[in-house]
Amino acid sequence: MENEKPRGGGFFERIRNGLSKTRKSFIKNLDEMVFGEKIITKDVFQNLEEVLIMADLGPAFTEDLIEEMRYRANRKELTDPGALKGVLKDHILEILEKSERPLAVPEERPYTIMVVGVNGTGKTTTIGKMARYFRNDGKSVLLAAADTFRAAAIEQLEVWSERAGVPLIKQKMGADPSAVVYDALHAARARKTDVVMIDTAGRLHTKTNLMDELKKVTRIMGREMEGAPHETLLVLDATTGQNALVQARMFDEGIGITGIVLTKLDGTSKGGIVIRIAKELKLPIRYIGVGEGLDDLREFRSEEYVNALFEP
């Protein structure tokens, strides 16, 4: 989450290593099926379309890109398939730059972040890593265990609160999540806490049931603190590919999302889902996760991502 240069060692190398599965499948297929040809033909565009769809870049992005490439080729601006790679890279960067909006915590406190997402996306781990970062940045942090439907969720958040060195507000399993949130907000105000992060349930009996519960939590937060939640952060698992996009739409339509965290990019060959999310949802991508280490969750930087994707 530090400002790092797009090239060189450090986190850029971790992004590059984390995207190795995507790079090997995506760029390798492009080179073999598209860029290896000597002239631009109809087959080149058909092969390109196939590779982009397979990489989960989505039909909207693919159609726009191929239309742009055909236009340039007809104007003789592109003379060989290899030149298409530069257009592809620029087009991806242009899309991602619009979603590059790191989370900025204002001076007013407490700043409330409600973290949502289905179980298994790395939601609780993300909360713990963010709490550690905020604390290292000199901010006081309070966690709230509002996923009271699973004992494991409360226990896991408790472990992360200890690792990050921040307090946790919790109740017993089965308690009303809104009651936990109520306690956390009042505790944060009394302690003059800078950041409050709220873990929420990821799976109830039905989608409607889940959204109703999250809406209730949102209402309680807004009633107890003006403007809360100030950030509603959705955690998505990149390994689920198109399902991540479906989840994003579901949560955005249900409760409204202000930012996205995309985790487990190191475990997937379909890291192109980042581009599809940026293109189709136009939601800010706050952070990406490219490993299990404490420092492997960082602010999303579009140039770093594109360079790591295309560099050999």
Tell me the chain's radius of gyration from C-alpha atoms. 21
pLDDT of residue 127: 95
Alpha-carbon gap, residue 70 to 63, rounded angstroms? 11
Which residues of the chain fall short of a pLDDT of 50?
2-9
What's the pTM value of the predicted model, to 2 decimals?
0.89
- Other C-beta atoms within 10 Å of 39: how many? 8
Beta bridge partners of 141: 195
- Encoded amino acid at 31, one letter: D
Are 229 and 220 in contact, with CB atoms under 8 Å apart?
A: no
305 vs 309: CA distance, rounded Å: 6
| Predicted pLDDT of residue 218 | 96
Q: What is the pLDDT of residues 118-157, one digit of tens each?
A: 998 999 999 999 999 899 899 999 999 999 998 899 999 9
- The single residue listed with the structure tokens 């579009």 is 302
- Angstrom distance (rounded) from CA 211 to CA 186: 24
- Label residues 176-194 b or e (16+ Cβ within 10 Å = b): ebbebbbbbbebbeeeebb
Query: What is the reported pLDDT for 2?
Result: 42
Is residue 286 within 8 A of residue 103, CB to CB? The reply is yes
Instruction: Tell me how far apart the alpha carbons of residues 282 and 284 are, in angstroms, rounded to a whole number.
Output: 7
- The edge-to-edge listing of strands for the beta sheet with 231-237 is 168-169, 141-145, 195-199, 111-116, 231-237, 259-263, 285-289, 297-299
For position 5, what pLDDT does the model report?
A: 37
